Amino acid sequence: TESKRKRQRESKKERVLQRKQEEALEVKRLKNLKKAEIRDKMEKIKKVAGLQDDPGVDLSAFDLDADYDPDAFDKQLGKLFDDGYYNEKDEGVSLEGTGDKSVDAMLEEGGDIVDGASKQLMPTESEVGKRKSDLSKSVSDVRDSLNEYFKLDYEDKIGDVKCRFSYSNVKAKTYGMDTAFILGSDDKDLNQIVSIKRLSTYKTKGGNKEDQGNPNMTSMYYNAGEKKRRKRAERRARKRANKAN
């Protein structure tokens, strides 16, 4: 009966809604775990770089709730790979107050160990290179984790396949119309100028370098009948725009 089919539809709708809610909670749980993992890795980067107390490098403030911006992330980490940072670290090594009694005593006594101590205390080129390599690996690891984090979100599911919308940048096209003209025209007139049927919904085969939504301008503008309809639509739209003003 109709009432039985209605109950079945409502029951199915409730099950689908419940499943989506459960999946949303699971995504939230996984994102929280991944977020904590990323925070730990970022703090590890600061520790490896010796920047725990540097307020200028606040990696924990990286906004994981916003859209992933690789440029912003690289900018925050740029200081770690700046040559000036390594030069500052290398030149900042001091022989005073080293904690080594034998070295301090010999310095006070005028001992001639400066050259030897410098070689021992100043980081070598290989040590600096290793530090850069370790930081590079850590940053790469964080990038991978960030990609995994943002891939947890999805717009819909088809069976067990998670679907994510992909957007493409297209060139702006006015087709000879300005904002006032468009607002002063009704849908019928606009469809006669640029019919929605002439726009490509999906990317065309071969990948047009320009706007994938280009209408077939040749058949549109050089067809005598359409040119006449376009002019009539433009005249009506201009009259309405003038009356509105």
Both tokens of residue 44? 């590890």
| Gap between the Cα atoms of 140 and 46, Å rounded | 14
Write the pLDDT tens digit of every residue in 130-172.
Answer: 777 777 777 788 788 887 887 887 777 777 777 776 666 667 7
Domain boundaries, the chain: 2-95+124-163, 179-244
Q: Which residues contact 13 (CB under 8 A, 6 or more apart)?
A: none
The per-residue pLDDT for 222 is 39
For tokens 């590890």, name the residue.
44
176 φψ region: left (φ > 0), alpha (ψ -120 to 50), beta (else): left
List all residues 6 or more positions away from 122 whose beta carbon is below 8 Å from its beta carbon: 90, 93
Query: 82-138: per-residue pLDDT in tens?
Result: 544 544 454 444 434 444 444 445 445 544 444 554 444 555 667 767 777 777 777
Could you give the CA distance from residue 198 to residue 231 in angstroms, rounded to a whole number? 18
Find out whether 203 and 212 touch, Cβ atoms under 8 Å.
yes
What is the pLDDT confidence band of residue 227, given thresholds at 50, 70 and 90?
low
pLDDT band at 184 (very low <50, low <70, confident <90, very high): confident
- Note the pLDDT of residue 92: 42
Interval 6-63: pLDDT, tens? 888 899 999 988 988 888 898 889 888 888 888 888 777 777 766 666 665 565 556 6
More confident position, 234 or 118: 234
Question: β-pairing, 161-163 with 156-158?
Answer: antiparallel
pLDDT value at 1 more than 80: no
Please state, rounded to an integer, the average pLDDT across all residues of the chain. 68
What does 42-60 look like in DSSP terms, one character per residue?
Answer: HHHHHHHHT-TT-TT--GG
95 neighbors 114 (Cβ within 8 angstroms): yes
What pLDDT, on the 0 to 100 scale, is given for residue 90? 47
**10 Å Cβ neighbour count for 237?**
21
pTM of the model: 0.47
Segment 164-187 mean pLDDT: 76
Residue 226: is its pLDDT beyond 70?
A: no
Cα separations (Å) of 63 from 53, 106, 206? Answer: 20, 51, 38
Greatest pairwise CA separation for the chain in angstroms: 106
